[in-house]
């Protein structure tokens, strides 16, 4: 079921979050890497700095496996790469696999990245347009630029849609259409 997915590179990944459309669910999951060099592991991949990175250490395909404790809808995967700095370490082809656990993953799509510098936004949908609900997500780095062996990924963020229902959704849609007004729709 592999298809090639169009990506948007150098996007502002926090815009939809500020608008109240999505939320970052990266910290709600357990993360596992296929391999890593010393001091270039999961902490470097998930921290806020774009100067640190995960570096794989072993044969391809390299994998990042993410497991959620409850079924979660993921609408976007955002990857930060810097081809100008990382060159042959930069992924060029990534397969996205989803499922209930590692044993039943199916390939949702395959992504081609062409010298990415900045955030690449990978929208997740089934071919019929339905949202992707999963327990387990896996990114498989199939190839790097210039036939590189190991991979650098500087950051990954996973976003889920914010679902509003009932009166809250109706009021939010009808009355609070500007970002300024939306600031006052909830109590912190």
The pLDDT of residue 108 is 95
Q: Please state the rounded mean pLDDT for residues 83-102.
A: 97
Residue 66: pLDDT over 60: yes
Q: Is 34 helix (H, G, I), strand (E, B) or coil?
A: coil
pLDDT of residue 177: 59
Given the DSSP bridges, would you call strands 91-99 and 132-144 parallel, antiparallel or unpaired?
antiparallel
* Percent of the chain residues past pLDDT 90, beyond the cut: 72
Q: CB–CB of 99/105 below 8 Å?
A: yes
Per-residue pLDDT tens digits for 22-47: 999 999 999 999 999 999 999 999 99
pLDDT value at residue 1:
46
3-state DSSP assignment of residue 149: coil
Average pLDDT over residues 72-97: 96
Least confident of 52-66, 117-131, 135-149: 117-131
pLDDT band at 2; cut points 50, 70, 90: very low
Angle of CA points 72, 78, 80, to nearest 5°: 145
Split at pLDDT 50, 70, 90, the class of 160 is very high
User: Residue 98 and residue 78: Cα distance in Å, rounded?
Assistant: 16
Q: Give the span between the Cα atoms of 35 and 176, in whole angstroms.
A: 47
pLDDT given for residue 171 in this prediction: 52
Give the model's pLDDT for residue 3.
Answer: 47
Count of other CB atoms within 10 angstroms of residue 122 = 20
Domains along the chain with CATH numbers: 4-163 (2.60.120.260)
Q: Is the pLDDT of residue 166 over 80?
A: no
> DSSP code of 20?
T
Q: What is the mean pLDDT of residues 161-188?
A: 62
In this prediction, residue 188 carries a pLDDT of 57
Nearest to 64 by CA among 104, 91, 86, 39: 91
* pLDDT of amino acid 168: 54
How much is the average pLDDT of 99-103? 96
Mean pLDDT for the stretch of residues 13-17: 89
Distance CA 184, CA 180 (A): 8
């Amino acid at each position: 079921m592999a298809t090639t997915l169009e990506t948007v590179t150098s996007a502002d990944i926090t815009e939809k979050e500020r608008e109240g459309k999505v939320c970052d669910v990266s910290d709600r999951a357990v993360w596992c890497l296929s391999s890593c060099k010393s001091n270039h592991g999961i902490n470097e991949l998930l921290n806020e700095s774009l100067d640190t990175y995960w570096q794989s250490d072993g044969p391809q395909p390299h994998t990042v496996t993410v497991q959620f404790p409850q079924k979660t809808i993921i609408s976007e995967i955002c990857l930060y790469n810097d081809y100008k700095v990382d060159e042959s370490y930069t992924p060029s082809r990534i397969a996205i696999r989803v499922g209930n656990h590692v044993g039943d993953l199916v390939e949702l799509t395959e992504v081609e990245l062409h010298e990415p510098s900045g955030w690449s936004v990978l929208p997740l949908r089934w071919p019929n347009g339905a949202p992707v609900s999963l327990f387990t997500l896996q990114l498989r780095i199939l190839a790097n630029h210039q036939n590189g062996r190991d991979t650098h990924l500087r950051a990954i963020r996973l976003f889920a849609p914010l679902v509003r229902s009932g009166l809250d959704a109706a009021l939010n849609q009808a009355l609070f259409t500007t970002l300024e007004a939306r600031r006052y729709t909830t109590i912190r």
